[in-house]
Amino acid sequence: MITAPNISVKGTALIGDRVLFENLHVDIQSGKTTCLLGASGVGKSTILRLIANLDTGADFSGEVRASDGKSLKNRIGYMAQGSELFPWLSVLDNVLLGARLRGEGADKMAALSIIEKVGLSDHLTKKPSQMSGGERQRIALARTLMEDRPIILLDEPFSALDAKTRSEMQELAGNLLAGRTVLLVTHDPAEAARLGHAIYMLTEQGITNVDVPATHPVREIDDEATLHCQGQLYRLLRGTPS
């Protein structure tokens, strides 16, 4: 796996006459998970889509820059909130989809190894409709890992899951994505407190770099420092004093 650079996002985004964010500066650290937290509509997904060079619906003036000066093209893996699986394909074929769409040879052995890591080896031939929500997200995670990109963008990938499955997916993703440069967009303070090496809080007033616990992600749910960080994030979201 190629070492990922740091990524810097600086600038201002407008939707019509409305300022989405202004003079924003986010640094995403190489080989670590950066969590971007905030309420709906403040521009979190816009920042992620700017990095991915996807349409945002906003007018952006600024720069998205890698520290090595190279293009981010072909260095990014993307996992959205919905699993976005092809319903007529099996688990294995969904994981192999990227290579086949690009007309490349599909590495079946690598896919089988990744599917084993996400705990779905007994479901290779099943269709997504035969799987639970958590299992479908495991397929999506396996497909993201199959792309073997050094930079991973996660757009609220676990928000539709129940609490138990969400906590399990957080641990699985945190462990399997270790060493990659990850930007996780979330509206869940508990998720950010567990997974973030760095945490940014984006509100209508601007962006804040929030102190994280000294412990290493993935943090225990009931760890005292994790709970303290979670409480601080809730207070920032609500605009109440710390």
Tell whether 80 is covered by a domain.
no
What are the CA-CA distances from residue 159 to residues 73, 78, 139, 182, 222 (Å)?
27, 16, 16, 17, 20
Which of 102, 118, 148 is the C-terminal boundary of a domain?
A: 148
**Per-residue model confidence (pLDDT) at position 242:** 56
* Domain-located, residue 242: yes
Instruction: Note whether 127 and 201 are same-domain residues.
Output: no
- 157 and 112 belong to one structural domain: no
The tens place of each residue's pLDDT in the chain, 242 residues long, gives 457 789 999 999 999 999 999 999 999 999 999 999 988 888 999 999 999 999 999 999 999 999 988 899 889 999 887 778 999 999 999 999 988 888 887 789 999 999 998 999 999 999 999 999 889 988 999 999 888 899 999 998 888 888 888 898 899 899 989 999 999 999 999 999 999 999 999 988 889 999 999 999 999 989 999 999 999 999 998 887 55
- Note whether 28 and 34 are within 8 A (CB): yes
What does the pLDDT read at residue 10? 96
User: Domain span at residue 116?
Assistant: 87-148
Q: How far apart are CA 179 and CA 177, in angstroms?
A: 6
Rounded CA separation 213/227 (Å): 9
Return the SS3 of 185.
Answer: strand
Distance CA 83, CA 159 (A): 11
CATH number at residue 51: 3.40.50.300
**Same domain flag for 65 and 111:** no
CB 144 within 8 A of CB 152: yes
Cis amide prior to 91 (ω within 30 degrees): no
Residues 177 and 190 in one domain: yes
Assigned domain for 113 exists? yes
- Are both 142 and 184 inside the same structural domain? no
Domain boundary (107, 124, 148) is at 148
Residue 1's pLDDT is 47
Distance (Å, whole) CA 201 – CA 2: 29
Position 111 in a domain: yes
DSSP state of 216: P
Judge if 71 and 160 occupy the same domain: yes
81 belongs to a structural domain: no
